[in-house]
Amino acid sequence: MNTIHDMGGMHGFGRIEVEPDEPAFHAEWERRVFALVTAVPFAVPFGDDSLRPAIESTPPAEYLASSYYELWLRGVTKLLLEAGAVTPGELATGKAASRPGAATFGRAATRDEIAKAIMTGFSPRRAEGKPPRFKAGDRVRTRNLHPTTHTRLPRYARDKVGTVTQDRGIFSFNDTNGSGQGEQPQHVYAVGFALTELWGPGHPPGDMLYLDLWDDHLDPA
Amino acid sequence: MTAHDHDHPPRGRTDIELRVRALESLLVEKGLVDPAALDAIVETFETKIGPRNGARVVARAWTDPAYKRRLLDDATAAIAELGYAGMQGENMVVLENTPAVHNVVVCTLCSCYPWPVLGLPPVWYKSAPYRSRVVIDPRGVLAELGLVLPAGIDVKVWDSNAELRYMVLPRRPAGTEGLGEEALAALVTRDGMIGTAAV
């Protein structure tokens, strides 16, 4: 999706404002949004591959005007509505008009189940997938892809030549899984690009940028 | 505008507080979330998970060469040796700064960050100015943040676009030979492990 979240290389956003001794959260509602987004997927199954496209579908002007946890709230609300777990009327009142709850969806995760999941995580690494087409040292060119769906190939790195520095192993492919086409597990490679390849002259020759790219993002160069 | 203001957009707090409260009570009423579990999530990320974890990893690597080798070979396993693991740290990579190379980490598409070792990311890391600029002008961004790199050091920028999560292993400061692990850990900052500070 060629929209505002894919902002690498853009100009005009101004200085970086660092807040000294910044707390984890700035308001109680941020705490609750973070916790809801962490807990809800246990009952209404969705993962990052759903949440991120939901956030990325925010119109660009609204995306930029929203704080981080506002975008999370927008994303989780969209997914809950799409799943039929809540209705617009219920969101407006905060009262359940019906209680499909655990009958239609899973039950709420308990404190212990969530504590365990935080320590275990949800790795998208997979045991099997397509055989690798590349190895460390290979020169590769990224594909010139512009899908209207979720992709992990940023705009600034399309149709660019780089070198594979490491095979990271087999991972679920977020581009397909985030657009309803399944996990399509395949190798992910660390690929190094000279800043001069990405941005033209004016960068020291040794300065590099690295991305982790899936097999389907790449062609031999 | 301060970073703090970024989190309170013009729409105002009252509206969003009401919307969040309505959503939470609705989901609790439907049996889809357990309020005690929500409290536990917040408590974990406010009190147990944060950059002090990563600082302990760094201090161990500075004092134990065998641990440092394991950390660079298989960061996920080596970090788990100290008890840190899980969400957003399932597949870790540690990047070693050297006299010739300085590493810096960003997530241009989103906000990906190694939670088990660094906690939740600061607002500036998730902000448009950092995400847009550090990939195209890393030396300028680092200088703006107070880290001027000499010409002899190559900069490596790591965009966490996929499911690997990065932590920088800063260089051990000169003159710290006599310090123990705990004292060394106290020298390590969050920004040093993102790569926007020297240590």
pLDDT in tens, chain A (221 residues): 999 999 999 999 999 999 999 999 999 999 999 999 999 999 998 877 899 999 999 999 999 999 999 999 999 999 999 999 999 999 988 889 876 655 578 889 999 999 999 999 999 999 999 999 999 999 999 999 999 999 999 999 999 999 999 999 999 999 999 998 999 999 999 999 999 999 999 999 999 999 999 999 999 99
Q: Does B111 contact A at CB distance below 8 Å?
A: yes
- B154-159/A208-214 β-pairing: parallel
Report, in angstroms and rounded to the nearest whole number, the Rg of chain A calculated over CA atoms. Answer: 20
Are B168 and B55 spatial neighbours (Cβ–Cβ below 8 Å)? no
Residue A132 CA to residue A220 CA, distance in Å, equals: 12
Q: pLDDT tens digits for B95-121?
A: 999 999 999 999 999 999 999 999 999
Residue B142 CA to residue A18 CA, distance in Å, equals: 13
Given an 8 Å threshold on Cβ–Cβ distance, is A95 in contact with B123? no
Given an 8 Å threshold on Cβ–Cβ distance, is A118 in contact with B37? no
CATH 1.10.472.20 positions along chain A are 28-120
Report, in angstroms and rounded to the nearest whole number, the Rg of chain B calculated over CA atoms. Answer: 19
Q: CA of A181, closest CA in chain B: separation in Å?
A: 18
Q: Does A183 contact B at CB distance below 8 Å?
A: no
Are B107 and B113 spatial neighbours (Cβ–Cβ below 8 Å)? yes
Residue A168 CA to residue A190 CA, distance in Å, equals: 7
Instruction: List the domains of chain B with CATH numbers.
Output: 3-46 (no CATH), 50-194 (3.90.330.10)
Residue B170 CA to residue B117 CA, distance in Å, equals: 14
pTM (2 d.p.): 0.95
How much of chain B exceeds pLDDT 90, in percent? 92
> Which residues does residue B102 pair with via DSSP β-bridges, in sequence order?
B155
* pLDDT value at residue B26: 94
Given an 8 Å threshold on Cβ–Cβ distance, is A24 in contact with B131? no
Search chain A and give the residue with CA nearest B51. Answer: A24
Residue B126 CA to residue B172 CA, distance in Å, equals: 27
Strand order in the sheet with B101-106: A218-220, A139-142, A161-171, A186-194, A208-214, B154-159, B101-106
Q: pLDDT tens digits for B29-70?
A: 999 999 999 999 999 999 999 999 999 999 999 999 999 999
CATH 2.30.30.50 positions along chain A are 139-220
ipTM above threshold 0.90: yes
Question: Does 1.10.472.20 match the CATH number of domain A28-120?
Answer: yes
- From chain A residues 132-151, the ones with a CB under 8 A of any chain B CB are none
> Which residues does residue B169 pair with via DSSP β-bridges, in sequence order?
B96
Q: Does B187 contact A at CB distance below 8 Å?
A: no
- B92-96/A186-194 β-pairing: unpaired
User: Within chain A, what is the greatest distance between any pair of CA atoms?
Assistant: 63
Q: pLDDT tens digits for B136-157?
A: 999 999 999 999 999 899 999 9
Range A95-123 burial, b when 16+ CB lie within 10 A, else e = ebeeeebeeebeebbebeebbebbbebee
Q: What H or E segment, with its residue span, contains residue B14?
A: helix B13-29
Given an 8 Å threshold on Cβ–Cβ distance, is B32 in contact with A93? no
CATH number of A139-220: 2.30.30.50
Q: pLDDT tens digits for B25-37?
A: 999 999 999 999 9
For residue B76, give the 3-state DSSP assignment: helix
Residue A127's contacts (CB-CB under 8 Å, 6 or more residues apart) are A170
Given an 8 Å threshold on Cβ–Cβ distance, is B6 in contact with A122? no
> Which residues does residue B38 pair with via DSSP β-bridges, in sequence order?
none
Q: How many Cβ pairs closer than 8 A exist between chain A and B?
A: 299
